[in-house]
Structure 1
Amino acid sequence: MIHLRPYQPHDLPAIVALFQASVSQLTAQHYDSAQRKAWAPAATDMPAWQTRLASLELLIAEDGQSIAGFIGFRLDGYIDLLYCAPAYARQGVASALYAAAEQRLRAAGTRELFTEASLVAQAFFAGQGFSVQQVQTVTRGTVNLPRMLMRKTLELR
């Protein structure tokens, strides 16, 4: 049984470990080994993660034992992070996290959502009603990682 809750600072090590496992294990169809290592390096800069997460609203999905996934977003509509633990991939965790974030953003009056989706996440976001606006490349060191700028307009309810 998955339930959602707000992020707590003590979650940071588990969040970073989940991120690294997700990138390492769930993106191999779209990104080679060098790209995955550049995206989620083994040496973690925890202060950089703390700074990044401090600027976001974060929701955690957990099953009572472990963290199954997380989403980080801003009230301006930017979805910065959405990751699932490999053991929970394709089990509705990302959908539940996204739905809760969208509900929060609607309540805040946000009318447009946007994200920079990896090639792996592109299909998920398309399924949520996002469309590709632009192909982008982000560079980590000497490694290029393709991604998609995607947007969705929230209809008034």
Structure 2
Amino acid sequence: MTRPNIFALRPFLPADTPMLAAIFVASVQELTGDDYGEAQQEAWVAVVDDEEGFAKRLASQLTLIATLEGSPVGFASLKDNAEIDMLYVHPSAAGQGVGTLLCDALEKLAGARGAKNLVVDASDTAVEFFRKRGYAAQQRNSVSLNGEWLANTTMKKAFDGGAQA
């Protein structure tokens, strides 16, 4: 009998940057192929080529890391207590509740800090995940990234029974 995976959360440390960059790349390359072409994926993962810039982005936000037996398997970041900026799960842990754990934590922290709602620019791959969590589509976007155009959807979730705008 196998026991269920037990994931834990911890805050981001600068030394985590290379591992989180690897999770970011694996997630984009292995999980988004149904929604984005190879050139789009390459442009997307090029974001972490500047590891120092990636580290600064993670450090400037509230970034949480999901671990399994002490090893990072996913991460998420909250920008300005108003926006989920990044949410990436390693393909080996996808579908096991890591994204839900990370998103639950960010929503609780944002709400405790007075946020009335959260927004996210969800990739086409992630739209259904956020929709199931109560996020409503606000608008479609086309984002230019390293010479490629990528589509995403701005989604919003209101807290405390507030109306979604």
Relative to the length of structure 1, the TM-score reads: 0.95
Point out 4+ residue stretches in structure 1 off by more than 4 angstroms.
Answer: none
What's the counterpart of residue 97 of structure 1?
A: 102
> What amino acid does structure 1 have at the position aligned with 2:151?
P
What's the counterpart of residue 106 of structure 1?
A: 111
Say what the alpha-carbon RMSD is for the aligned residues: 1.6
Is the counterpart of residue 76 in structure 1 residue 75 in structure 2? Answer: no
Q: Tell me, in whole angstroms, the C-alpha distance in 2 between the residues paired with 1:61 and 1:42.
A: 21
> What amino acid does structure 2 have at the position aligned with 1:122?
V
| Residues 83/42 of structure 1: CA separation in 2 closer, same or farther (3 Å cut) | closer
Is the counterpart of residue 16 in structure 1 residue 25 in structure 2? Answer: no
What's the counterpart of residue 146 of structure 2?
A: 141
Structure 1: give runs of 5+ residues left out of the alignment: none
Q: Which SS does the other structure have where 1:41 is aligned?
A: helix
| Identical amino acids, percent of aligned pairs | 36
Is the counterpart of residue 39 in structure 1 residue 37 in structure 2? Answer: no
Structure 2: give runs of 5+ residues left out of the alignment: 1-5
Q: Tell me, in whole angstroms, the C-alpha distance in 2 between the residues paired with 1:40 and 1:124.
A: 21
How many residue pairs get aligned? The number is: 157
What's the counterpart of residue 50 of structure 1?
A: 55
What's the counterpart of residue 3 of structure 1?
A: 8
Q: Tell me, in whole angstroms, the C-alpha distance in 1 between the residues paired with 2:113 and 2:36.
A: 35
Deviates more, 1:48-57 or 1:8-17: 48-57
| Residues 3/116 of structure 1: CA separation in 2 closer, same or farther (3 Å cut) | same
